[in-house]
């Protein structure tokens, strides 16, 4: 009973926070305090569930019966625990960053921004703790809708256009494919509960499983498999904190998280392994992985490059799930956390650069590392983690993913992972190198000499150093430290996930 209350609190806290944000809208400092407090409380509440889940229990709470036999149910299992921790933990850091960014960038309608952000977090936690596919679908759709005002925050025509792509693809795939898959599953199995070993085994033919797999995988648009990845670059029109937490962590991870959930608990890893002879999903994921890395190489806009990098990294997770063995699930699940910390750091840096020096294109960033050393060091750490080099978190998940492909006997995917890592180096490292080793070109940007924009909220200036606002710096320091901490403490994640992967 206690624990079911905890689950309900975890979902209601951000909702209550959103109301608090509305109430305190006239006093920005108080409003931001509400956001930060809500984030911290949420993280603490989510954390209290960890020992129970580690001990093998699955706390659960059922709310309403929607259709006879179908409930709104929340059940915490290891994978959801991990996603819940990552999303709520990074919300704290991201809130710190948001304060620096939104004020430094003089954004309008900040109350609306914080309000929908809190609701997005509530739905992300809902996705994490969903106990059946219908509940997950609910939260998934709400997550799409409440992030729409964040994507179109500026209200400019290009934001509206991007908003259309965002909503069109995400709603179109989820209603058009995922919902059909869910109702079909319900129709043949009579259950949508997430069940260990899956619910489809023995109920349907291999062909139907393949079709369902297609409907689910392309119905989960948030996982950004090609060719339905276009919404993610489009979403980059949003303010950077949105891109950082939502489009590198909460929303996209909700997508791959759903992929993992569906494969583990609806299809069942073993069921999927049986049909893996013609498992096209692996090849699509591998293709997306390589192709989007290549696209990332061609992008000069930093956020666009990071967006394509995210698409590629998401496919790591999908590929891990598609390999359908314990190691793949382990690597994929771990990558949710590892990539989250790495990529959020990179986005923090991109936003910091935008606020402090008004630069968005990589080609303009020559010598910027000398002006913004902290930002560029954080960028270096984030990059190394995304590439997967020790001593950073990202190395573990790649390790397990590569083990998994070896284990499944697909040497080709070993190669894919390796080529992709090289591509990661090729599109991330030049940015750092450019920042530290190139000399700045004579500036055409009149913003550079604007010194009136310097102040506590707008940036830090010491001698030749002209850094981002302190709040931004604090956030990126925390998240890059997180990358290092994750390397050392990856074992905890392993222990948490071990029961669902069947690994010791």
Partner 1 sequence: MLSGLSSHLPVILVVLPLIAAPICVIFRSASLAWLIALIASWLCLGISIFLLEQVISNGPISYLLGNWPAPWGIEYKVDVLSAFVMLIVTSIGAIVMVFAPKSVQIEIPSDRTYLFYTMYLLTFAGLLGITITADAFNLFVFLEISSLSSYVLISLGAQRNALTAALRYLILGTVGATFYIIGVGLMYQMTGTLNISDLAERMPDVASTKTILIAVGFITVGIGLKLGLFPLHVWLPNAYAYAPSVVTAFLAATATKVAVYALLRVYFSIFGINLFSALPIAEVLLILGLIAIISMSTVAIYQNNAKRLLAYSSVAQVGYMVIGIGMLTITGLTATILHLFNHAVIKGALFLALAAVFYRIKSVKVEDMAGLGKAMPYTMAAFVAAGFSLIGVPSTVGFISKWYLILGALDKDWWLVAILIVVSSLLAVIYFWKVIEYAYFKNRPDGATEIRDVPLSMLIPIWVMVGSNFYFGLNTNFTISAAMKAATSLIGDAP
Binding positions for partner 1, rule: CB under 8 A? 64-68, 72, 134, 137-138, 141-142, 145, 152, 155, 160, 164, 167-168, 171-172, 175-176, 179-180, 183-184, 186-187
178 versus 312: smaller Cβ distance to partner 1 = 178
Query: Closest CB to partner 1 among 136 and 245?
Result: 136
Cα–Cα distance, 228 to 175 (Å, whole number): 14
CA 232/CA 305 separation, integer angstroms: 11
Closest approach, Cβ 323 to partner 1, in A, equals 30
Q: Is 27 helix (H, G, I), strand (E, B) or coil?
A: coil
> What letter would DSSP give residue 204?
S
Cα–Cα distances in angstroms (integers) from residue 418 to residues 80, 147, 411, 415, 434, in the given order: 29, 34, 11, 5, 24
Closest to 313 in 3D by CA, of 225, 233, 227: 225
Nearer to partner 1, 154 or 438 (CB): 154
Q: Residue 382: which of 441, 430, 342 has the closest Cα? A: 342
**Residue with Cβ nearer partner 1 (213 or 500):** 213
Residue 312's closest CA among 299, 326, 300? 299
Output the smallest distance, CB 209 to partner 1, in A: 16
- Peptide bond just before 85 cis, omega within 30 deg: no
Q: Please report how close the Cβ of residue 108 comes to partner 1 at its closest, in angstroms.
A: 12
- 277: left (phi > 0), else alpha (psi -120 to 50), else beta? alpha
Tell the smallest beta-carbon distance from residue 156 to partner 1 (Å).
9
Residue 180 or 291: the one with the smaller Cβ distance to partner 1 is 180
Nearest-approach distance from CB 187 to partner 1, in angstroms? 5
What tokens appear for 299 in the block?
């992008």
Nearer to partner 1, 129 or 396 (CB): 129
- CB of residue 256 vs partner 1: minimum separation in angstroms? 21
Q: Which of 184/494 has CB closer to partner 1? A: 184
By beta-carbon proximity to partner 1, the closer residue of 69 and 409 is: 69
Closest CA to 38 of 122, 104, 98: 122
Q: How far is the CB of 274 from partner 1 (least distance, A)?
A: 24
Backbone phi, psi, residue 73, to 5°: -135, 135
Least gap, CB of 176 to partner 1 (angstroms): 5
Sign, Cα dihedral of 132, 279, 406, 248: negative
């Amino acid at each position: 009973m206690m624990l079911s209350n905890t689950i309900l609190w975890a979902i209601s806290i951000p909702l209550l926070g959103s109301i608090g944000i509305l109430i305190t809208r006239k006093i920005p400092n108080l409003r931001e305090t509400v956001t930060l407090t809500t984030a911290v409380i949420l993280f603490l509440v989510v954390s209290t569930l960890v020992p129970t889940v580690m001990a093998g229990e699955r706390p659960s709470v059922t709310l309403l019966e929607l259709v006879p036999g179908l409930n709104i149910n929340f059940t915490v299992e290891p994978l959801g625990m991990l996603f819940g921790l990552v999303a709520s933990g990074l919300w704290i850091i991201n809130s710190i960053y948001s304060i620096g960014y939104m004020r430094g960038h003089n954004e309008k309608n900040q109350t609306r921004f914080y309000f929908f952000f809190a609701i997005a977090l509530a739905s992300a936690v809902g996705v994490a703790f969903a106990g059946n596919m219908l509940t997950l679908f609910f939260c998934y759709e709400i997550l799409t809708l409440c992030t729409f005002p964040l994507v179109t925050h500026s209200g400019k025509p290009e934001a509206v256009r991007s908003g259309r792509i965002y909503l069109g693809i995400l709603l179109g795939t989820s209603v058009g494919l995922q919902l059909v898959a869910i109702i079909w599953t319900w129709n043949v199995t009579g259950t949508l509960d997430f069940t260990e070993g899956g619910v489809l085994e023995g109920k349907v033919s291999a062909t139907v499983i393949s079709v369902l797999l297609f409907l689910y995988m392309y119905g989960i648009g948030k996982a950004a498999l090609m060719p339905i990845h276009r919404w993610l670059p489009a979403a980059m029109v949003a303010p950077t904190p949105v891109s950082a937490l939502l489009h590198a962590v909460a929303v996209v991870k909700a997508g791959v998280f759903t992929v993992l959930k569906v494969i583990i608990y609806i299809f069942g890893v073993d069921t999927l392994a049986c049909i893996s002879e013609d498992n096209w999903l692996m090849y699509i994921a591998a293709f997306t992985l390589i192709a989007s890395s290549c696209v990332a190489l061609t992008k000069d806009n930093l956020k666009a490059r990071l967006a394509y990098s995210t698409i590629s990294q998401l496919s790591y997770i999908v590929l891990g799930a598609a390999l359908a063995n314990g190691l793949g699930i382990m690597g994929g699940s771990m990558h949710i956390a590892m990539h989250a910390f790495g990529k959020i750091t990179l986005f923090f840096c991109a936003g910091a650069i935008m606020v402090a020096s008004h630069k968005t294109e990589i080609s303009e960033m020559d010598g910027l590392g000398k002006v913004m050393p902290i930002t560029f060091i954080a960028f270096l750490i984030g990059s190394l983690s995304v590439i997967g080099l020790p001593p950073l978190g990202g190395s573990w998940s790649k390790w397990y993913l590569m083990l998994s492909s070896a284990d499944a006997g697909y040497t080709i995917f070993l190669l894919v992972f390796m080529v992709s890592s090289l591509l990661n180096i090729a599109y991330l490292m030049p940015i750092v190198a450019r920042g530290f080793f190139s000399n700045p070109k004579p500036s055409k940007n009149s913003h550079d000499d604007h010194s009136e924009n310097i102040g506590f909220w707008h940036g830090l200036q010491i001698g030749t150093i002209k850094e981002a606002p302190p709040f931004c710096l604090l956030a990126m320091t925390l998240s890059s430290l997180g990358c290092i901490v994750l390397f050392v403490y990856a074992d905890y994640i392993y222990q948490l996930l071990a029961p669902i992967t069947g690994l010791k």
